[in-house]
């Protein structure tokens, strides 16, 4: 508790209030909660409480989909463990494996890592999971989307029973539940958040824009909204880098984040944005896969994602932990069908930014939920007429003014908490 008190946290988030007790009692837990809801403390406090500090074996394993999220989880756990002798190490691709060899040789209690690099160490014999008693799968649906499920099964098969497991996911597609049923016995299911960001705290808007006019509309939007922190999403690495440079030329303090940057450059961009020295982060969808950045005022979709699930990952970067936020999407006429598919999956009203935007009709051919779409993709069966080829163009029909795998992401396979709560 010293670690919790030293961080100034007083009141638990719902996922923490519901999860910590069952985990301390030894139950397996399946938690549906989005990024930014306080999951790290929810699984981290019980995990740290059970570590035997006198035994220098790896006793706990935390799997995360991206290196950025793995680093964040380790940082938060280290803060909670600051008054103990518990040692943690982060293992991920992009870092020298020799550094990781040395850290493991010195002895650690908790390993946090990405599935690919964890598997690499297992095959090399440099990581021994034979004494692991606690396993956490964080952002399980993101790991599913990134193609890590077979890796996860390989890793879990390397951890002997008895073991205690917890699994956290923003959505619960059938493939995730299959994993849970296979490896988790008598798990307690805890539902905190639904498939999409909270409608009450997130305002969503769209504007119909010619592709060539998007930059001008973006500059006007930033001038009008004056966000203290904003994330702008682009489809491609080249587009993100180019837009960041254009914003810098217009005296906007923007930094890029994409897969062509080195790990050092990515860490630098994240660092200056988190510290407030940059107001705008221009990113590809790597930043929406598990990255937890607190206090983001608004999200701007400069490009509409072809995969509608990515829209919800993107806009979920704002309106965290009860705070309010805004999301804006610039829709070119070539992207209207992509945006119509998003409308078919959301319960929220996405409002027109300007009167003329309300005049455009989107053809919404079918309605459903994110989980249904994920079930269809990962072997759960098609629902409500969704298919990976359902991308026919069309105009007319539904007016929103009152209301295959990721094909656009150029990077694949590759928590911060708010003030008075912990």
Confidence of residue 197 (pLDDT cuts 50, 70, 90): low
Distance CA 296, CA 36 (A): 11
Its pTM stands at 0.73
Mean pLDDT score, 27-56: 90
Mean pLDDT score, 301-310: 91
Reply yes or no on whether the pLDDT at 408 is more than 70. Answer: no
More confident of the two residues 61 and 398: 61
Confidence of residue 241 (pLDDT cuts 50, 70, 90): very high
Q: Residue 160's CB: how many other CB atoms inside 10 A?
A: 11
Reply yes or no on whether the pLDDT at 410 is more than 80. Answer: no
pLDDT for the residue 348? 83
List alpha helices for 25-91, DSSP H: 39-50, 67-80
Reply yes or no on whether the pLDDT at 391 is more than 80. Answer: no
Is the distance from CB of 294 to CB of 323 less than 8 angstroms?
no
Q: Which two tokens stand for residue 87?
A: 């040692």
Reply yes or no on whether the pLDDT at 25 is more than 80. Answer: yes
Place of tokens 């939920």: 369
pLDDT for the residue 407? 34
Is the distance from CB of 12 to CB of 38 less than 8 angstroms?
yes
Confidence of residue 406 (pLDDT cuts 50, 70, 90): very low
Residues 6+ apart with CB under 8 A from 1: none
Distance CA 323, CA 296 (A): 9
pLDDT for the residue 422? 35
Reply yes or no on whether the pLDDT at 386 is more than 60. Answer: no
Q: Residues 252-297: pLDDT tens digits?
A: 999 999 988 887 898 899 889 989 999 999 999 865 565 667 789 9
Q: What DSSP element (H or E) covers 245?
A: helix 237-249
Structural domains present in the chain: 2-191 (3.40.50.300), 202-402 (3.40.50.300)
More confident of the two residues 381 and 310: 310
Q: Which residues pair with 169 in a beta bridge?
A: 32
Confidence of residue 230 (pLDDT cuts 50, 70, 90): very high
Measured between alpha carbons, how far is residue 21 from residues 3, 26, 46, 193 in Å? 18, 9, 8, 19
Residue among 116, 90, 85 nearest 103 (CA): 90
Distance CA 127, CA 117 (A): 10
More confident of the two residues 70 and 418: 70
Q: Which two tokens stand for residue 102?
A: 């040395």
Confidence of residue 359 (pLDDT cuts 50, 70, 90): very high
Reply yes or no on whether the pLDDT at 330 is more than 50. Answer: yes
Reply yes or no on whether the pLDDT at 77 is more than 70. Answer: yes
Residues 6+ apart with CB under 8 A from 377: 173, 388, 404, 405
Between 30-44, 143-157, 360-374, the lowest mean confidence (pLDDT) is in 360-374
Mean pLDDT score, 349-364: 91
More confident of the two residues 10 and 260: 260
Between 236-240, 327-331, 361-365, the lowest mean confidence (pLDDT) is in 361-365
């Amino acid at each position: 508790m010293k670690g919790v008190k030293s961080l100034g946290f007083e009141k638990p988030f719902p996922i923490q209030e519901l999860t910590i007790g069952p985990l301390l009692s030894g139950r397996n837990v399946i938690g549906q909660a989005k990024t930014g809801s306080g999951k790290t403390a929810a699984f981290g406090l019980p995990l740290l409480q059970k570590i035997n500090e006198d035994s220098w074996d790896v006793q706990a394993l935390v799997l995360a989909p991206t290196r950025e999220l793995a680093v964040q989880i380790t940082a938060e756990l280290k803060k909670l463990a600051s008054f103990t002798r518990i040692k943690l190490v982060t293992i991920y691709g992009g870092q020298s494996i020799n550094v990781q060899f040395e850290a493991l040789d010195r002895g650690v209690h908790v390993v946090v890592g990405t599935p690919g690099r964890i598997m690499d160490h297992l095959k090399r014999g440099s990581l021994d999971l034979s004494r692991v008693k606690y396993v956490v799968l964080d952002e399980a649906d993101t790991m599913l989307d990134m193609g890590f499920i077979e890796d996860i099964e390989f890793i879990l098969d390397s951890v002997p029973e008895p073991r205690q497991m917890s699994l956290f996911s923003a959505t619960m597609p059938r493939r995730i539940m299959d994993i849970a049923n296979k490896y988790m016995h008598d798990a307690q299911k805890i539902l905190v958040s639904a498939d999409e960001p909270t409608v009450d705290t997130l305002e969503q808007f769209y504007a119909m824009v010619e592709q060539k006019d998007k930059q001008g509309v973006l500059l006007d939007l930033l001038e009008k909204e004056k966000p203290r922190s904003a994330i702008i999403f682009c489809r491609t690495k080249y587009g993100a880098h180019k837009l960041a440079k254009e914003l810098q030329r217009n005296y906007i303090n923007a930094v890029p984040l994409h897969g062509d940057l080195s790990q050092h450059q990515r860490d630098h961009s994240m660092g200056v944005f988190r510290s407030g020295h940059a107001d705008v982060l221009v990113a590809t969808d790597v930043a929406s896969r598990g990255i937890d950045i607190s206090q983001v005022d608004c999200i701007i979709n400069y490009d509409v994602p072809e995969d509608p699930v990515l829209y919800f990952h993107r806009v979920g970067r704002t309106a965290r932990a009860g705070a309010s936020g805004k999301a804006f999407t610039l829709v070119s006429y070539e992207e209207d069908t992509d945006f119509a598919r998003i409308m078919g999956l959301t319960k929220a009203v996405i409002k027109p930014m300007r009167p003329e935007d309300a005049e455009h009709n989107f053809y919404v051919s079918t309605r459903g939920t994110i989980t249904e779409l994920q079930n269809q993709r990962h072997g759960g069966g098609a629902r409500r007429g969704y298919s990976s080829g359902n991308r026919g163009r069309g105009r007319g029909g539904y007016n929103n003014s009152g209301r295959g795998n990721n094909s656009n992401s150029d990077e694949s396979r590759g928590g911060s908490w708010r003030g008075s709560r912990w």
